[in-house]
Structure 1
Amino acid sequence: MRIGELSRRTGVSVRSLRYYEEQGLLSPVRRPSGYREYGEGDVTTVRAIRLMLAAGLNTATIAELLPCMVEDGELLTPACSGMLPDLHRERERLNDAVAELLAARDVLDSIIAATAPAPDGDLVCPVSPGRSA
């Protein structure tokens, strides 16, 4: 199948599919005409890539892990036990990012709480928009 058909079947843009190829995640056969030719296995691969991206993994990590992943129906599972440390590392990275976002939200909440409303309910702003204090 050509790239447009793979895009239609997976719901992934042609641009993203080309990006996946650039990152070494997909390896279509090149026809003499230069067209990319994809097989049925590429549909599964693209779905696995999308799932791992949704899990917060970057394409470099996906390139390392993809050869050891197998699709079991709708579930993507590691076939190599040696990749568990990598998955735990990525989970910890996500936990750290979540903690940073929660801390940023707490700071924003404190700024919101410290902003005094005017008697009419509008915010009091001593500086007009577009002007510096």
Structure 2
Amino acid sequence: MTAMQQAYNVYEDRCPTRLVLDRLADKWALLILDRLEGGPVRFNHIRRDIKGISQKVLAQTLRKLERNGLISRTIFPTVPVTVEYALTPLGHTLTDTVSALAHWAEKNMDAIFAAQRAYDETHPV
């Protein structure tokens, strides 16, 4: 571990790692990163695959992920212009974690719904 790595502490309120965690904790960022695991994808393909994301939010999230070095953007000089997004080597270091988290929710929804019902029965509004 380098001296720089030791200087960061996610439990400190002013640690810059909090900004990265904030970016990664976003549902759209997780879904985009998981979608890009299979290889480069065009903007509109991502938008079609991730139901419910608006064009504006997709563009904003892609920019933030690119700024943080997690994805790359490649522009092809076609008419109209084609843009593809792909995971960077840094982004690839997250694929197992992102996939596990995203698909954990799918596998455990029944248990979560049961826990919510049990809680609601014992904690009336």
Q: Larger relative contact order (C-alpha < 8 A, sep ≥ 6)?
A: 2
Question: Highest Rg: 1 or 2?
Answer: 1
Structure in which a larger fraction of residues adopt helix: 2
Question: TM-score over 0.5 for the alignment?
Answer: no
- What TM-score do the two structures reach when normalised by structure 1? 0.29
